[in-house]
Amino acid sequence: MKRNGSVLIAVLVCMAIATTILLGIVQSSLRLQRQMRHEMQMEQTRWILDAGISQASKQLNSEPDYRGGMLRIEPGLSHFSEPSIEVVILPSQTKVGKIQARITARLQGLGKYAPVTQRSKTIEFNKPTTE
């Protein structure tokens, strides 16, 4: 009888150890999944910023008096909502023939507690000539 009880205790201890190890693996996996999702969102935000820089350049070349604005992007990204680009034309500092623009890209994930990522860059463009 003593042997059956000790085997049962040994089995329960082994199950507790296995459960603890399994829970640690699941927690680590979930943490890695969140980190990968955040990195993907940051990369998407960088791409949106690049698109905003390209769009600002096109607008400045076609409209010399362009003052910036909000550019909305269709929510075609499956894991994200409300991507946006803001272009702000900054007052000329000291360089003649140059325009500075601050482009800010924002991307929000889906869900109530989803993070918002934002990337900004200030670019200097040549003023378009009106000839």
* Beta-bridge partner residues of 68: 88
pTM over 0.75? The answer is no
Q: Which comes out higher in pLDDT, residue 39 or 75?
A: 39
The pLDDT score that the predictor gives to residue 67 is 84
| Model confidence pLDDT, tens digit, residues 42-99 | 998 999 899 889 888 888 888 878 888 888 776 666 667 778 899 998 876 667 778 8
Q: Which comes out higher in pLDDT, residue 31 or 73?
A: 31
The pLDDT score that the predictor gives to residue 2 is 62
Work out the angle at residue 72's Cα, subtended by the Cα atoms of residues 69 and 75, and round it to the nearest 5 degrees.
165
d(CA 113, CA 125): 38
Domain ranges of the chain: 37-126
Indicate the helix (H) or strand (E) that contains 103: strand 98-109
| Model confidence pLDDT, tens digit, residues 58-67 | 888 888 788 8
Q: Which amino acid would we find at residue 5?
A: G
d(CA 120, CA 82): 17
Which of the four pLDDT bands, split at 50, 70 and 90, describes residue 108? confident
Residue 88, Ramachandran bin (φ over 0: left; ψ between -120 and 50: alpha; else beta)? beta
Q: Which comes out higher in pLDDT, residue 91 or 30?
A: 30
